[in-house]
Structure 1
Amino acid sequence: MLDWTFVLEWGGFALRWLHVVTAIAWIGSSFYFIALDLGLHPEAVAAAGVKGAAWQVHGGGFYHIRKYLVAPAELPAQLTWFKWESYATWLSGFAMLVLVYYLGAEFYLIDPAIADLTVWQAVAISLGSLGFGWLAYDAICRSAFGRDNTRLMLGLYVILVGVAWGYTQVFTGRAALLHLGAFTATIMSANVFLVIIPNQRVVVADLIAGRVPDPKYGIIAKQRSTHNNYLTLPVVFLMLSNHYPLAFASDWNWLVASLVFLMGVTIRHWFNRRHAHLPAPWWTWAATLALGALMVWLSLPDGRGEELQEGAALPPAAARFAAAEGFDEVAGIVLGRCSMCHASEPGYPGIGRAPKAVALETPEQVARQAQRIYVQAGITDAMPPANLSFMEPAERAAIIAWYRSALRGPAPG
Structure 2
Amino acid sequence: MDLVWIWGEAFLRWLHVIAGIAWIGSSFYFVHLDLSLTREGPLPDKANGEAWQVHGGGFYHMVKYLVAPPGLPSELTWFKWEAYATWISGFVLFAAIYYAGAELYLIDQGVRALSPWSATLISIGGFILGWAVYDGLCRSPLGDSETVLAAVGFLFLLALAYGFSLLFSGRGAFMQMGAIIGTIMAANVLMVIIPGQRQVVAALQAGKEPDPVHGKRGKQRSVHNN
TM-based fold match above 0.5: yes
Do the aligned partners of 1:15 and 1:96 also contact (CA within 8 Å) in 2?
A: yes
Q: Do structure 1's residue 85 and structure 2's residue 82 form an aligned pair?
A: yes
Q: Which residue of 1 is the match for residue 172 of structure 2? A: 175
Letter in 2 for 1:93: G
Larger Rg: 1
Q: Distance in 1 between matches of 2:40 and 2:63?
A: 9
Write the letter of the residue equivalent to 2:73: P
- CA apart distance, 1:182: 0.5
Indicate the residue corresponding to 2:41 in structure 1.
44
Aligned pair partner of 1:225 in 207, 222, 225: 222
**1:122 Cα deviation from its structure 2 partner:** 0.5
Q: CA RMSD in A?
A: 1.0
Contact 1:12 1:100 in 2 (8 A): no
In structure 2, the partner of 1:59 is 56
Aligned equivalents of 2:66, 2:106: Cα separation in 1? 47
Residue of 170, 182, 186 corresponding to 1:185: 182
Correspondence for 2:99 among 81, 97, 102: 102
Rounded Cα–Cα distance in structure 1 between residues aligned with 2:181 and 2:2: 30
Contact persistence 1:52–1:67 (CA under 8 A): yes
Contact 1:146–1:152 (CA<8 Å) still a contact in 2?
yes
3-state DSSP of counterpart to 1:56: strand
The whole-number CA distance in structure 2 between the counterparts of 1:168 and 1:7 is 34
* Larger mean Cα displacement after TM superposition, 4-13 or 43-52: 4-13
Q: Given the alignment, which residue of 132, 146, 151 partners 1:149?
A: 146
Matching of residues 4-403 of structure 1 within 5 Å: 4-229=1-226
The amino acid of 1:95's aligned partner reads V
Residue by residue, what CA displacement relative to the aligned partner does 1:156-176 show, whole Å, maximum 9, x if unpaired?
000011111112111111111
Q: Retained in 2: the 8 A contact 1:51–1:67?
A: yes
- Secondary structure of 1:64's aligned partner: strand
Corresponding residue pairs, total: 226
- Partner Cα separation in structure 2 for residue 170 and residue 10 of structure 1: 32
- Distance in 2, matches of 1:139 and 1:69, equals 25
Q: Contact (CA 8 Å) 1:110, 1:117: kept in 2 or not?
A: yes
Separation in structure 2 between the aligned mates of residue 138 and residue 14 of structure 1, nearest angstrom:
32
Once the two structures are superposed, residues 267-291 of structure 1 have per-residue CA deviations (whole angstroms, 9 ceiling, x without a partner) of: xxxxxxxxxxxxxxxxxxxxxxxxx
What secondary structure sits across from 2:225 in the alignment?
Answer: helix
TM-score (norm. length: structure 1): 0.54
- Shift of the alpha carbon at 1:220? 0.8
**CA drift at 1:141:** 1.1
The DSSP-based 3-state class of the residue aligned with 2:182 is: helix
Amino acid across the alignment from 2:174: L
| Amino acid corresponding to residue 205 of structure 1 in structure 2 | A
| Structure 2, unpaired ranges of 5+ | none
- Normalization by structure 2: what TM-score? 0.97
CA distance in 1, matches of 2:125, 2:3: 31
After superposition, give the CA deviation of every residue in 1:212-235 in whole Å (9 maximum; x if it has no partner): 111111111111111111xxxxxx
Q: Secondary structure at the match of 1:74?
A: coil
Residue 203 of structure 1 and its aligned partner are, at CA, apart by: 0.6
- Give per-residue Cα distances to partners, 1:255-314, cap 9 Å, x unaligned: xxxxxxxxxxxxxxxxxxxxxxxxxxxxxxxxxxxxxxxxxxxxxxxxxxxxxxxxxxxx
Runs of at least 4 residues of structure 1 off by over 4 A? none
Amino acid at match of 2:141: A
8 Å CA contact 1:42, 1:53 repeated in 2: yes
Whether contact under 8 Å (1:53, 1:67) holds in the other structure is yes
Q: Deviations over 1:302-346 (max 9, x none)?
A: xxxxxxxxxxxxxxxxxxxxxxxxxxxxxxxxxxxxxxxxxxxxx
Q: In structure 2, the residue corresponding to 1:35 is in which secondary structure? A: helix
Q: Secondary structure at the match of 2:75?
A: coil
